[in-house]
């Protein structure tokens, strides 16, 4: 059974810092890995999708990497802003099942 772990569970940084969020998964048989953002009491917003054959994806100040063989992904946020404060969720799509398995998320607070 696929398990997704996100470390740290919570992170607080001053505005302007670069930061890294970590995600690990136990089964490397995946189609893709996705990073989502969730604001309090709201739904999820897709940030980046990395297909299993890719190593990284970039969108603006966000860069996500994937090392499928080791079961790891990182989300790098450059020059953090207070508006980046949210919970960041990592999910993997299982090969064959097409189902997303989510981690518990990392709650990020960017202090002005």
Query: Does 45 participate in binding other proteins (rule CB under 8 A)?
Result: yes
Per CB under 8 A, does 56 bind other proteins?
no
Q: With binding defined as CB under 8 A, does residue 71 bind other proteins?
A: no
Closest to 36 (Cα-Cα) out of 89, 75, 76: 89
- Residue 44 binds other proteins (CB under 8 A): yes
Our finding on whether 59 is near other proteins (CB under 8 A) is no
Q: Are 45 and 65 in contact (CB under 8 A)?
A: no
- Compare residues 89 and 108 and give the one whose CB is closer to other proteins: 89
Closest distance between other proteins and the C-beta of residue 98, in Å?
5
At 81, give phi and psi (nearest 5°). Answer: -125, 155
Three-class secondary structure of residue 83 per DSSP: helix
Instruction: State yes or no: cis peptide before 67, omega within 30 of 0.
Output: no
Q: Residues touching other proteins: how many (CB under 8 A)?
A: 25
Q: Which of 12, 18, 99, 109 binds other proteins (CB under 8 A)?
A: 99
CB 85 within 8 A of CB 109: yes
3-class SS of residue 95: coil
Q: Using CB under 8 A as the criterion, what x/- string covers residues 3-42 for binding other proteins? A: -x--------------------------xx-x-x----xx
């Amino acid at each position: 059974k696929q398990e997704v772990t996100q470390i740290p569970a919570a992170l607080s940084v001053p505005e302007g810092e670069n930061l890294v969020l970590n995600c690990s998964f136990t089964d490397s048989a995946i189609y893709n890995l996705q990073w989502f953002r969730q604001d309090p009491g709201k739904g999820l917003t897709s940030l980046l999708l990395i297909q299993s054959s890719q190593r990284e994806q970039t969108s603006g100040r966000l860069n996500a990497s994937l090392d499928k063989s080791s079961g790891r992904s990182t989300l790098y946020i450059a020059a953090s802003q207070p508006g980046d404060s949210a919970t960041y969720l990592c999910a993997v799509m299982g090969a064959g099942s097409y189902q997303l398995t989510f981690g518990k998320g990392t709650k990020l607070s960017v202090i002005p």
